[in-house]
Amino acid sequence: MTRYFVPGAHQILWRDHGDECGSSQMKPHTEIVLGDLADRNKAEAINLKPRLHTSRLGVNTTFPSDLPVPKDDGAYDHLTDSTVPTDISLPVAHKPQQQVGLAELEGAPNEIVPDSWNAIPGARGCTPQACSFRDNLPHLRSLGVSHIYGISTQSPSYQAEVRERLHLPYDLLSDENLHFQWGLKLPTFEWEGGKVLRRSMIALRDGKVVKWWYPVFPPDRGVDDLIEWLKEEQSLP
């Protein structure tokens, strides 16, 4: 049973969905968490080959080619073999009355993206990331993934709108009160008076971190790294 979670998303995270398919061949009880990353002081700008992402659903997911590249500042090093606190549960975006306890598991329309947001290394790219997981979910299912969650510090109502707009087949969880962030000591950055989770991906098995990816850049390529890891896991005895 493989599960995926995403911490940190602005336009929104964990943002990938798909139909059930394939049988689980993974080691039991593996989960993954994805998030957003930015560190203004430890990144350099580079020119990437221009890329335009247009999803099969017609959602424009343009990703600028000249964004600053985030660097690994070691903010996730402590997560290896750490345990998710059992007293943390998060509301599901489109049904906030439902809470999900991760330890127990076996940008808006017409919104203009300001230059100040683009200037933060790793901040831009939530929509491409979300759509990349949505479009690759059948493949992930075939590799043994049973659940995918996206986690961000946005409100459930905001997440619900994003989930509907991007046609995401997985649930988004709101860490608006930073309970999950505090519990795992996840890195954040400040934006308009609030905290935003840095982009990342975390694999959990029986409530323990077994693998993490940080930083994740370009944001839509993280799913490729995840797929490679899943294939490697399947090849282990």
208-237 pLDDT, tens digit each: 888 889 888 887 888 899 999 999 988 876
The pTM for the full model equals 0.58
Task: Return the structure tokens found at 44.
Answer: 């350099």
CATH number for the domain spanning 20: value is 3.40.30.10
**Domain housing 81:** 2-235
Number of domains in the chain: 1
CA 188 – CA 195 distance, rounded (Å) = 6
CA 221 – CA 224 distance, rounded (Å) = 5
Per-residue pLDDT reduced to its tens digit, 30-68: 455 554 433 322 232 323 333 334 344 444 445 566 667
19 to 55, 59, 137, 152, 166: CA distances (angstroms)? 17, 19, 7, 23, 15
Contact assessment for residue 70 and residue 215, using Cβ atoms and an 8 Å cutoff? yes
Query: Does pLDDT of 142 surpass 60?
Result: yes
Residues 220, 223, 225, CA angle at the centre, nearest 5°? 115
Q: Cα torsion for 178, 16, 52, 126, to the nearest 10°? A: 0
Confidence of residue 22 (pLDDT cuts 50, 70, 90): very low
Confidence of residue 102 (pLDDT cuts 50, 70, 90): low
Confidence of residue 114 (pLDDT cuts 50, 70, 90): very low
